[in-house]
Amino acid sequence: MKHSQYLLDTNAVVELMRRPDGKVARHLVEAGGVGYCAISDLTLYELYSGAYASKNVENNFAAVQRLTQWLAVIPSADGFKEAARQKVELRKQGQMIEDIDILIGSTALVSGRILVTGNVKYFSGLQGLQLENWQQ
- Residues 3-49 pLDDT 10s: 789 999 999 999 999 999 999 999 999 999 999 999 999 999 999 99
Query: Is 1 within the bounds of a domain?
Result: no
Q: Does 1 have pLDDT greater than 60?
A: no
Sheet holding 72-74, edge to edge: 72-74, 37-40, 6-8, 114-116, 131-132
Report d(CA 37, CA 40) in Å as an integer: 10
Question: Could you list the residue range(s) of the whole structural domain that residue 80 is in?
Answer: 6-132
CATH number of domain containing 112 = 3.40.50.1010
Tell me how many domains the chain contains: 1
DSSP secondary structure letters along 106-126: HHHHHTT-EEE-S-HHHHTTS
Query: Is 105 within the bounds of a domain?
Result: yes
> Global pTM?
0.94
Query: Is 90 within the bounds of a domain?
Result: yes
Q: Does 63 have pLDDT greater than 80?
A: yes
